[in-house]
Amino acid sequence: MTDTAMSPQQIVEAFFAAMAVGDHDVALAHVSDDCEYDNVPMGKVYGPAEIRQVLEPFFAPTPEYILEIKRIAAAGPVVFAERLDRHRLESGWVELPVTGVFEVHDGKITLYRDYFDLATIMTKWPAPAA
């Protein structure tokens, strides 16, 4: 339910709000069919289905997730968002500073790029189930 009357920043904030409560359906409704998701240290995927294939397994071991936007700024279709992602795992809380860059066109996110330190998360994240 993307509204083209929303600003690019509002669309990104709506995406984050849905992600913060684990509603991937609503979050992914804000991305275009050909959206490029560049999870910088890990690679690129395209479109809602591939983005879901990255996000859902990542969040699976996280019974609680807090997304705190530290700073957000927009210039035309480009939105920069510095945030702190907090994940509660069985072993405790893991905090991951992330900076995201988004482009929004025609009411949809067409580029979603996250920058973070892979070592920060991998040293504390549970190994994927075999």
pLDDT of residue 3: 54
Give residue limits of the domains in the chain.
Answer: 8-122
- pLDDT tens for the 130 residues of the chain, in order: 445 699 999 999 999 999 999 999 999 999 999 999 999 988 899 999 999 999 998 888 888 999 999 999 999 999 999 999 998 888 888 899 999 999 999 999 999 999 998 888 777 776 655 5
Q: Which residue in 25, 85, 106, 117 is the catalytic one?
A: 85
3 is catalytic: no
Token pair for residue 89?
A: 């795992």
Look up the CATH number of domain 8-122.
Answer: 3.10.450.50
Alpha carbon distance 48, 36 (integer Å):
9
Q: Which residue in 3, 25, 114, 117 is the catalytic one?
A: 114
Kindly provide the b/e burial profile for residues 32-69, where b requires at least 16 CB atoms within 10 angstroms of the residue's own CB: beebbbbbeeeeebebbeebbeebeeeeebbeeeebee
Alpha carbon distance 28, 20 (integer Å):
13
85 is catalytic: yes
pLDDT of residue 59: 87
Distances (CA, A) of 92 to 9, 57, 129: 32, 18, 19
pLDDT of residue 60: 85
Alpha carbon distance 86, 107 (integer Å):
28
pTM: 0.88
